[in-house]
Amino acid sequence: MSEQTSTPIDLTGKVAVVTGAGQGLGLAYAKALAAAGAHVVVNDVDGDAAERAVREITAAGGTAAAVVAPVGPTSTADLLVRTAVDIFGRLDVLVANAGVIRDRVLWKMEDADFDLVVDTHLRGTFTTVRSAAVRMRDQAEGGRIVVVGSPAGQHGNFGQTSYAAAKAGIIAMARTWSLELARARITVNAVIPTAITAMTATIPVYTEVAEAYQRGEPLPRVVRQEHALGGPEDVAPLVVWLASDRSADVTGQAIGVGGDKLSLYSYSEELAVTYREGGWSAEAIDEAWPSTFGPAGQTSGITLPPLEDSVGAS
């Protein structure tokens, strides 16, 4: 689809909080929101990264302030909202992006690593959204909440028990919050991003792709479309749109974006149904499964086309 000329999305006067905004996708979100006119509170656990992000935003003509703190605790969530209100007077947009990974297969995963991932992604999203929702409800002018999922949370992914579980939980919370906050005109949507980042570059199959991207080389169509990989800047426009008044009637959705690809994920639904008068025995289930349910069985994991010889090809 070719891009059409339309009225630019203007976030002038809006105030946004972006967690995990010191680098990668979070930084791209913060920059794009600021470029559209929003005042941005940049959060990161890395103080140098947060301050660098603020400098980059202000150098480009935007307005930003930094909060250095780990997401998860309620105290951090409250601090983020308080900073937005104290410095910029209000809060209109929250992008709950912060996260970490500690990938291990199940039998090697340690409690501490599992807890860190779940506390940062799942609890961090919960606490920041709760604090933001309270403020937005008090303002009584609506609001925009954007949470961040992952293909791993939609499909599962080898070695990512904690990450996949947390991301799946975020989608479930977003759908619930979209119902609870609808009356207050606060939308809640999930972005499912795919992009070349420092994390992506550690995946062996994408090493060459990431190096080509860093060199500024155009990425092949199979990378940008079938793998939905471009830069963080390819994901940020969706966040800007979801932060705007243009998306006021969109809520409770999980929207994928990356490279050239934009997609809408389905809700979980029953794929096959049958009934048996009086209920089911184990033997009856065994008999019904092959013909009624087997053909509708779902696969686990993320399936992508091969990348052989795609980078650098004409």
Catalytic positions: 150, 163, 167
| 257's tokens | 């974006």
Q: How many Cα atoms sit within 13 Å of 192 on the Cβ side?
A: 24
Contact 114/39 with Cβ under 8 angstroms? no
User: What does the alpha-carbon distance between residue 213 and residue 311 come to, in Å, rounded to a whole number?
Assistant: 10
Q: State CA 82 to chain mean position distance.
A: 23
Instruction: Report helix angle 161-180 to 111-118, nearest 10.
Output: 30
Where do the DSSP E strands lie in 69-125?
Answer: 93-96
Longest dimension (CA), the chain: 71
Q: How many Cα atoms sit within 13 Å of 105 on the Cβ side?
A: 1
With 0-12 / 13-18 / 19 or more C-beta atoms within 10 angstroms meaning exposed / middle / buried, residue 147 is: buried
Instruction: Report helix angle 124-139 to 161-180, nearest 10.
Output: 20
Among the listed residues 100, 98, 14, the one whose alpha carbon sits nearest the alpha carbon of residue 64: 14
